[in-house]
Amino acid sequence: MFKMPLCRPAMLASLVLLAACGGGGGDYHPPPPPPPIPVPDPDPDPVLVKQGLEVFRNNTFGDEAKWSDTLRLHEVLDSCVDPNTALSLGLKVDVDALPPELQQGIKNGSVDLGDPQTTVKLIKLGAVVGLVGKVEAGYGRDMVTRVGVTCALCHSTVDDSLASGIGKRLDGLPNRSLNIGAILALSSTVSAKDKKVFESWGPGRYDPRYNLDGKNGPVMIPPIYGLKGLRSITYTGDGDDVAYWNRYVAVTQMGGMGHFDDARIGVDVTNGDVDLVGPVLPALRAYQLSLVAPPPPAGSYDMGAAARGRALFIGKGQCVSCHSGPQFTDEALHSVLDVVSEASYASRSATKQYRTSSLIGVWQHAPYFHSGEAATLEDVVNTYNDRKALGLNPQEIADLAQYLKSL
């Protein structure tokens, strides 16, 4: 029997040196600063990559037990969340999953994006990125009776080619408009205390430890492209391979069926009596390692300034002391006393330190630092200049920021 939920208000909750400045980024790819770091990973098996794509986009690992049985979010999605609200919460729609008539209706306005039943239709089509729902007939209409989430919810976005929030998938890019806290707060089973915490996070932020340690300190959803050859892939470098964090998130955050434990952080979680996570981790890893960083858009930075900025990156700015090699990271861990950003999150991690982040594709995922405290790359350089006493003048700061935009 279908239960009709009481509707709650939806929450909207490097480089050829140039003498003159010029526009254009086009085919320009800056050479990385020396010395190079060997990339040990072989090219992923194409068959495994294809399997991993399916896991990334469509495998919930059985986490419907959390998102439906516990949070009851299928009821909210069924009757209270219209597409306009869903898009305002940062959910994305895959245009390739829409039939031509629905695409045309969205373009000309004949499809009602203010009707929750349209959301049900999108879920039935498998068009909502990162959501997998079961839709059945009931009470004379289609109803969402179960829902789960996939990796793509946070780590994929769209190119807005049809409309804002509706377009072709861009896997690996962080969904920095996703307000996962506001989505969680829609649940009728969430306590007032947790709801207040969730609502405090804002778009693009998520705390992957709050449900385990009770401390509120969200971090920016990270990109998952450009991981090939890297071992330390989280902000704090907790595991020695991407599979560590995949298992952590799938089990402890998504609610997937399986087991994760790490005595260093006092976590030992088992969901269900069957492992739906472990067997698919190799394929998921292969797909992630196949994702390359997006090149900077043509005309998005000043080539002359970027050339000057590269010299500063290697010299006066001291950036290359950590951001070295083909992926612009030495993968070293750093004491919280040595970093320039917010320090408390590391205390909740296994390493109690921060790892050097890769700068490949850094132009794409503002705001910056794990905490999102720097809105622009200029702000990043200013922060380092102030806290490390680098002595960069305003022109040098601007030039170095332009170089970062070229990576």
The pLDDT of residue 42 is: 76
**187 and 309 share one domain:** no
Domain boundary among 236, 266, 290: 290
Residue 113 sits in the same domain as residue 179 = yes
- Statement: the pTM of the whole predicted model exceeds 0.85: yes
Residue 40 pLDDT: 55
Q: Quick one: tokens of 295?
A: 């090149």
Asked if 335 contacts 353 with a C-beta cutoff of 8 angstroms, the reply is: yes
Same structural domain, 279 and 326:
no
Residue 269 shares a structural domain with residue 323: no
Token pair belonging to 306: 């970027």
Q: What's the confidence (pLDDT) of residue 33?
A: 44
- Report the number of distinct structural domains present in the chain: 2
Tell me the backbone φ, ψ of residue 261, rounded to 5 degrees. Answer: -145, 145
Determine the angle formed by the axes of helices 281-290 and 46-58, rounding to 10 degrees: 100
In this structure, the answer to whether residues 140 and 90 fall within a common structural domain is yes
User: CB-based contacts of 148: which residues, under 8 Å, 6+ apart?
Assistant: 60, 61, 62, 63, 64, 66, 67, 68, 131, 132, 133
Range of the domain at 387: 303-405
Q: What pLDDT is recorded for position 44?
A: 82
pLDDT given for residue 167 in this prediction: 98
Residue identified by tokens 């769209």 is 158
Residues 327 and 234 occupy one common structural domain: no
- CB of 353 within 8 A of CB of 334? yes
Q: For 353-388, how does the pLDDT look when each residue is reduced to its tens digit (9 = 90+)?
A: 999 999 999 999 999 999 999 999 999 999 999 999
Task: Read off the pLDDT of residues 16-68 as tens digits, 9 standing for 90 and up.
Answer: 222 233 333 344 344 444 434 444 567 889 999 999 999 999 999 999 999 99
Instruction: Give 122's contacts (C-beta < 8 A, 6+ positions apart).
Output: 83, 93, 98, 128
pLDDT (tens digit, 9 = 90+) per residue, 61-93?
999 999 999 999 999 999 899 999 999 999 999
- What's the CATH code of the domain at 370? 1.10.760.10
Q: Is residue 29 part of a domain?
A: no
Give the closest residue to 115 by CA, choosing from 148, 140, 82, 141.
82
Residue type, 24: G
* Positions in the chain whose pLDDT score sits under 50: 1-39
- 266 and 394 fall within a common domain: no
In Å, the largest CA–CA distance within the chain is 73
The whole-number pLDDT of residue 231 equals 84
**pLDDT at residue 41 in the model:** 65
